[in-house]
Amino acid sequence: MTDYTPAVAAIAALVDDLMFLSRIREAAKGPGVEVRAARTVDQLQAAAAGSALIIVDLDSPRLPTAAALAALRGDPTLAALPVVGFFSHVHAERAQAAKQAGVDRVLARSAFVQVLPTLVAEAAG
DSSP letter string over 20-64? HHHHHHHHHHTTT-EEEEESSHHHHHHHHTT-SEEEEESS-SSS-
Evaluate whether residue 85 is within a structural domain.
yes
- Predicted TM-score (pTM) of the model is 0.91
Evaluate whether residue 36 is within a structural domain.
no
Condensed to tens digits (0 to 9), the pLDDT of residues 21-76 reads: 999 999 999 999 999 999 999 999 999 999 999 999 999 999 999 999 999 999 99
| Model pLDDT, residue 112 | 96
Evaluate whether residue 99 is within a structural domain.
yes
Evaluate whether residue 56 is within a structural domain.
no
Evaluate whether residue 102 is within a structural domain.
yes
Condensed to tens digits (0 to 9), the pLDDT of residues 103-114 reads: 999 999 999 999
- Domain count of the chain? 1
Give the domain extent around 88. 81-125
Evaluate whether residue 87 is within a structural domain.
yes
Evaluate whether residue 45 is within a structural domain.
no
Condensed to tens digits (0 to 9), the pLDDT of residues 73-91 reads: 999 999 999 999 999 877 7
Answer yes or no: is pLDDT of 4 > 50.
Answer: no
Evaluate whether residue 40 is within a structural domain.
no
